Amino acid sequence: MRYKACSGDGCELAFAQAKAIPLGDLVQLPVAMLQKKFYVRQLMDDCCEQSGIEWKPALELSTLESLLQMARNNVGGAILPQSYMDNIRGSGIRSIAIIDPVPQKDVGIVYRKDMYLSKTKDTFMKQLMQQYLYVNEGVQQEKLRIQI
């Protein structure tokens, strides 16, 4: 799973025009984030804790759409899942890769080798691998490890 920082097109924050931003720099900027009960927030908190980075969002909201609106209106940045960002391209939002360290989780696919693998399952696994194994804008992204 990939996560990106985003900002509105007219944003004047220091990171708004960058292709990538180190996590340590990002947490020092005004960033809106989901509440602690959400998985995206827990992932960011864990990543920061493991890296020894102190993290406190400027604003906590309860929906991805409200985070998007904050970024679109240049209130601050927002951290959103890459899969969500892929569906909103061209909506006045810039996507900025988070690096050094990259917040990530490993995901695995487990199935029995002695069972028939339907075309639907095979297609799903191929699409999953295609979605999560790529390089974006010259910045190496984390890779989903598929365990088959």
Which residue numbers in the chain have pLDDT < 70?
1-16, 89-91, 105-107, 131-148
Q: What is the pTM of this model?
A: 0.66
| Residue 39, φ and ψ in degrees, nearest 5 | -60, -40
Tens of pLDDT, residue by residue over 90-116, are 667 778 888 887 777 666 778 788 888
